[in-house]
Amino acid sequence: MRRHLRIPHLGGAVAVILHRPHATVAALSRQLEAIGLRTQCQWPELSPAVQAADYLFLDVDTAHDDQFPWPPGRAPMPTIALIGSEAPGRIEWLMNFGADAQILKPVGTAGVYSALLIARATFDARAEMNDQIDSLRTRLAQRQTVVRAVARLAARGKTEDAAFEQLRHMAMAWRVSFEEAAARIMDGPGGDKEVNDG
Amino acid sequence: MGEASHRGVMQGIADVNADNDLDLTFEPVERDPAGDVDAYAPLGEDILATSRARHIIGCTTSWSRKEVIPTLERLNGALWYPVPYEGFEASDRIVYTHACPNQHLLPLLEHALGAHGRRGYLTGSNYIWGWEMNRLARQVTVAAGGEILGERYLPLGSTDVARIVAEIAALRPDFVLNQLIGPSQYEFIAEMAKLRQRDPHFASPRCPVLSCNLTECELPVMGDAADGIIAAGPWFRGMPARSAGRDRGHGFGSSFEVAAHDSVMMLARLLNNRPGAEDLPLSQLLSLPVAGQLGISARTHHTRLPVAIARVQDGAFSVIRALEPIDGDPYLTGARDMPRAALRVVT
List pLDDT tens digits, range A162-173. 999 999 999 999
Instruction: For residue A12, give the chain B residue with the closest CA.
Output: B333
Coil, strand, or helix at residue B347? coil
Q: What percent of chain A has pLDDT over 90?
A: 70
Is the CB of residue A30 less than 8 Å away from at least one CB of chain B?
yes
Is the residue at A94 inside a domain?
yes
A85, A102, A130 — which closes off a domain? A130
Q: Residue B73 is nearest to which of A7, A10, A108, comparing CB atoms?
A: A108
Chain A stretch 139-168, residues whose beta carbon is closer than 8 A to a beta carbon of chain B = none
Are both A33 and A76 inside the same structural domain? yes
Is the residue at A191 inside a domain?
yes
Closest residue by Cα to residue B88 from A118, A117, A113, A116: A113
Q: What is the pLDDT of residue B82?
A: 97
pLDDT band at A157 (very low <50, low <70, confident <90, very high): confident
Instruction: For residue B87, give the chain A residue with the closest CA.
Output: A35
Assess whether pLDDT exceeds 70 at residue A190: no
Query: What CATH fold (topology level) applies to the domain B102-236+306-326?
Result: Rossmann fold (3.40.50)
Mutate to test the interface with B, among A4, A7, A37, A39 (most CBs of B within 10 A): A7
Q: Return the ∠ at Cα B300 (arms to B269 and B336), rounded to 5°.
A: 120
Output the DSSP codes for A112-179. HHHHHHHHHHHHHHHHHHHHHHHHHHHHHHTHHHHHHHHHHHHTTT--HHHHHHHHHHHHHHHTS-HH
pTM: 0.85
Residues in A closer than 8 angstroms to B300, CB to CB, are 34
Assess whether pLDDT exceeds 60 at residue B76: yes
CB atoms B301 and A34 under 8 Å? yes
Is the CB of residue A35 less than 8 Å away from at least one CB of chain B?
yes
Q: What is the pLDDT of residue A156?
A: 84
> What is the gyration radius of the CA atoms in chain B, in angstroms?
20
Coil, strand, or helix at residue B32? coil
Instruction: For residue A4, give the chain B residue with the closest CA.
Output: B135
Looking only at the bridges linking them, the beta strands covering B175-179 and B209-211 are parallel
Q: Residue B92 is nearest to which of A10, A12, A109, comparing CB atoms?
A: A109
Closest residue by Cα to residue B305 from B234, B255, B247: B234
Are both A55 and A106 inside the same structural domain? yes
- Give the Cα separation of B320 and B309 in Å (integer): 6
CB atoms B90 and A31 under 8 Å? yes
Are both A75 and A23 inside the same structural domain? yes
Are both A177 and A108 inside the same structural domain? no
Is the residue at A172 inside a domain?
yes
Coil, strand, or helix at residue B153? strand
Closest residue by Cα to residue B333 from A39, A120, A36, A113: A36
Assess whether pLDDT exceeds 80 at residue B346: no
Are both A149 and A180 inside the same structural domain? yes
- Are B238 and B256 spatial neighbours (Cβ–Cβ below 8 Å)? no
Mutate to test the interface with A, among B95, B100, B140, B333 (most CBs of A within 10 A): B333
- Give the Cα separation of A179 and B31 in Å (integer): 74
pLDDT in tens, A99-150: 999 999 989 888 999 999 999 999 999 999 999 999 999 889 888 999 999 9
Are both A118 and A156 inside the same structural domain? no
CB atoms A109 and B90 under 8 Å? yes
User: Which segment of A181-195, B49-63, B279-293 scores lowest on mean pLDDT?
Assistant: A181-195
pLDDT in tens, B84-108: 999 999 999 999 999 999 999 999 9
* Residues linked to residue A38 through DSSP beta bridges, in sequence order: A14
CB atoms A30 and B283 under 8 Å? yes
- Give the Cα separation of B143 and A50 in Å (integer): 32
Is the CB of residue A117 less than 8 Å away from at least one CB of chain B?
no
Q: What is the pLDDT of residue B91?
A: 95
Q: What is the pLDDT of residue B127?
A: 86
Mutate to test the interface with B, among A109, A112, A114 (most CBs of B within 10 A): A109
Stretch A4-21: mean pLDDT, rounded? 90
Rounded to a whole number of angstroms, the distance from the CA of A94 to the nearest CA of chain B is 28
Q: What is the pLDDT of residue B246?
A: 60
> How confident is the prediction for chain A on average, in pLDDT?
90
Q: What is the pLDDT of residue A193?
A: 43
Q: What is the pLDDT of residue A134?
A: 92
CATH superfamily ID and name for B2-99+237-305: Response regulator (3.40.50.2300)
Assess whether pLDDT exceeds 70 at residue A53: yes
Q: Residue A11 is nearest to which of B89, B139, B334, comparing CB atoms?
A: B334
Are both A124 and A152 inside the same structural domain? no
Chain B stretch 284-303, residues whose beta carbon is closer than 8 A to a beta carbon of chain A = 299-301
Q: What is the pLDDT of residue B343?
A: 46
- Give the Cα separation of A101 and A120 in Å (integer): 9
User: Which segment of A2-6, B120-124, B269-273 scores lowest on mean pLDDT?
Assistant: A2-6
Q: What is the pLDDT of residue A110?
A: 87
- Per the structure, the count of domains in chain A is 2
Stretch B225-242: mean pLDDT, rounded? 91
For this complex, say whether ipTM is above 0.85.
Answer: no
User: Which segment of B17-31, B239-253, B269-283 scores lowest on mean pLDDT?
Assistant: B239-253
Residue B95 has phi, psi (to 5 degrees) of: -110, 130
- Give the Cα separation of A48 and A50 in Å (integer): 5
Residues in B closer than 8 angstroms to A108, CB to CB, are 73
CA–CA distance from B56 to each of B6, B19, B80, B215, B263 (Å)? 12, 21, 6, 23, 10
Q: Compute the Cα dihedral for A53, A55, A57, A58 and give only its sign.
A: positive
- Give the Cα separation of A68 and B264 in Å (integer): 50
Is the residue at A136 inside a domain?
no
Assess whether pLDDT exceeds 50 at residue B289: yes
- Are A149 and A182 spatial neighbours (Cβ–Cβ below 8 Å)? yes
B168-202 burial: b if 16+ Cβ within 10 Å, else e: bbeeebbbbbbbbbebbbbbbbbbbbeebeeeeeb
Closest residue by Cα to residue A161 from A171, A170, A172, A151: A151
Are both A96 and A182 inside the same structural domain? no
- Give the Cα separation of A60 and B59 in Å (integer): 37
Q: What is the pLDDT of residue B9?
A: 96
Q: For residue A73, what is the domain's CATH number?
A: 3.40.50.2300
> Does this chain's domain B2-99+237-305 share its CATH topology with B102-236+306-326?
yes
Are both A146 and A58 inside the same structural domain? no
CB atoms A36 and B90 under 8 Å? no
A143-165 burial: b if 16+ Cβ within 10 Å, else e: eebbebbbebbbeeeeeeeebbe
Q: For residue A150, what is the domain's CATH number?
A: 1.10.10
Rounded to a whole number of angstroms, the distance from the CA of B173 to the nearest CA of chain A is 25
Instruction: For residue B74, give the chain A residue with the closest CA.
Output: A108
- Give the Cα separation of A36 and A4 in Å (integer): 23
Per the structure, the complete domain to which residue A193 belongs is given by 142-197
Instruction: Identify residue A55 by its one-letter amino acid code.
Output: Y
Assess whether pLDDT exceeds 60 at residue B227: yes
Q: Residue A109 is nearest to which of B91, B329, B331, comparing CB atoms?
A: B91
pLDDT in tens, B172-188: 999 999 999 999 999 99
pLDDT in tens, B139-168: 999 999 999 999 999 999 999 999 999 999
> How confident is the prediction for chain B on average, in pLDDT?
92
Are both A126 and A82 inside the same structural domain? yes
Q: Which residue has the higher pLDDT, A155 or B226?
A: B226
Stretch B115-134: mean pLDDT, rounded? 94
Is the CB of residue B131 less than 8 Å away from at least one CB of chain A?
no
Are both A121 and A163 inside the same structural domain? no
Q: What is the pLDDT of residue B189?
A: 97
Is the CB of residue A72 less than 8 Å away from at least one CB of chain B?
no
Q: What is the pLDDT of residue B4?
A: 93
Are both A59 and A117 inside the same structural domain? yes
> What is the gyration radius of the CA atoms in chain A, in angstroms?
25
Rounded to a whole number of angstroms, the distance from the CA of B7 to the nearest CA of chain A is 30
